[in-house]
Amino acid sequence: MQPRLAFAYDPQFTEHVFAAEQLQRLAGLCDILRHEPLLELTSPDARAVLAETEILVTGWGPPLIDAATLATAPKLRLIAHSAGSIKYFIAPEVVERVAVTSAVTANAVPVAEFTVAAILFANKGVLAFRDIYRSERRHLRSHPLMASQLGNYQKTVGIIGASRIGLKTIELLAPYDFELLLTSTSTTPEQAAALGVELVELDELMARSDVASLHAPALPSTRHMIDARRLALLRDGATFINTARGSIVDQDALLRELVAGRLNAVIDVTEPEVLPADSPLYELPNVLLTPHIAGAIGGERERLGTLIVDEVERFVRGEPLLHRVPHELLGQLA
C-alpha cells in the first residue's frame, strides 16, 4: 500500500515548484489524498486529511506545524518542505519526532549564482560605467576609470558565513582569479584549505576585501553584526553584498556610507521589506537594489520541486534522506 500524501502551502507562492512531470512522479509513489493544498491545519476538514497523512509536502506560505498538529496527525512520518528555511513554521519538537527534509540546498543555487554575478559586475564597475556612458554617450577608452584598478583579476572577495549559500558561492568562484577569504565559526583551517579559501576573522575580512558578501543566518546573535565600525573597515570603493537578511546589517550605518559615496552595494534584502517609498536606496547610483529575487524565482523553482520529489522517493523506498534537517542544528538555521 502506498503512503498517503497531502500538500500544505499557499498556492500563490508555489507556482512552478512542481512541474507536471514531478506531480506524476508523486502520484506514482504515493496516494495523494487531495491535490488542493491545505491552507490551515485546524479546521475539521483539514484535521480529517491530517489524520490519514503520512507525508506532508509544504512550501512557501505554510501553516504552523507544532505539537498540537502532530496530535491530529498520528500517521505523519515525513514533512518535505519545497522551499528554504523551516524554522518559522515548524516547531522544534516536530523535528525531534518526525523526519523533516528541505529544499534549502536547491534554493542556495540561484542565490549563489546571483552573488557571483554581483561580484563580477561590482569589480568591473558596471554601475558607474552605465551612468557615465548614459550621460556622455561617447567612447570611454580615455576615461580615468579605464585606467583604474577595476576588473576581476586578483581581486579579494570575502565570504561572510559558511552557510549552504556561502559554500556554494565559494564553489562557483573557484575558476576565477580571486583571493578568497572566509569568516566562519564552524569551519576549521583544514576545511578552509580544502575549499581554497583563507580563514580569517570578520574584521580582517572587511579590511582586506574588494567585495564582501554576506551569507550568515539571521539570529539574535547576528543582529547588526555588520555595524558602523565594521563597515568603516571596508576600503574606499569596496562593494558590500547582502543576499542574506536585512537584520544582520545596521541599515542606517550602511546608508550613511552609501550616501557619502564611499562604498557600493548590491542589496537584495532589507529591514523592513519593503523599504519606505522615500528611502534613498531606491535612487543612489552606487546601489543595485533588488526586491528579494536572489532565491529561486520563476522556472528556477522547479529545482526545488525536483529535489523534494527525489526525497519523497527515497523515503518511500526506505533509503536515507539526503537533505534531512538535523534537530540539533535548528538553532543555527537561517
Statement: residue 330 has pLDDT above 80: no
Question: What average pLDDT does the segment 25-49 reach?
Answer: 97
Question: What average pLDDT does the segment 38-53 reach?
Answer: 98
Whole-number Å distance between alpha carbons of 326 and 86? 11
Is 81 noted as a catalytic residue in this protein? no
pLDDT, tens digit, for every residue of 153-176? Answer: 999 999 999 999 999 999 999 999
Q: Sheet containing 78-81: give its strands across.
A: 31-32, 4-8, 55-58, 78-81, 99-102
| Residue whose C-alpha cell reads 526506505 in the numeric block | 318
Whole-number Å distance between alpha carbons of 304 and 105? 8
Question: Is 240:234 a contact under the CB 8 Å cutoff?
Answer: yes
Is 93 noted as a catalytic residue in this protein? no
Question: Is 264:241 a contact under the CB 8 Å cutoff?
Answer: no
Predicted pLDDT of residue 334: 60
Single out the catalytic residue among 245, 301, 311, 323: 245
Predicted pLDDT of residue 147: 86
Statement: residue 331 has pLDDT above 90: no
Statement: residue 284 has pLDDT above 70: yes
Single out the catalytic residue among 262, 292, 314, 327: 292
Is 224 noted as a catalytic residue in this protein? no
Q: Which domains, and CATH codes, for the chain? A: 4-102+298-332 (3.40.50.720), 108-289 (3.40.50.720)
Predicted pLDDT of residue 329: 66
Statement: residue 237 has pLDDT above 70: yes
Statement: residue 12 has pLDDT above 90: no
Statement: residue 47 has pLDDT above 90: yes
Single out the catalytic residue among 21, 93, 96, 273: 273
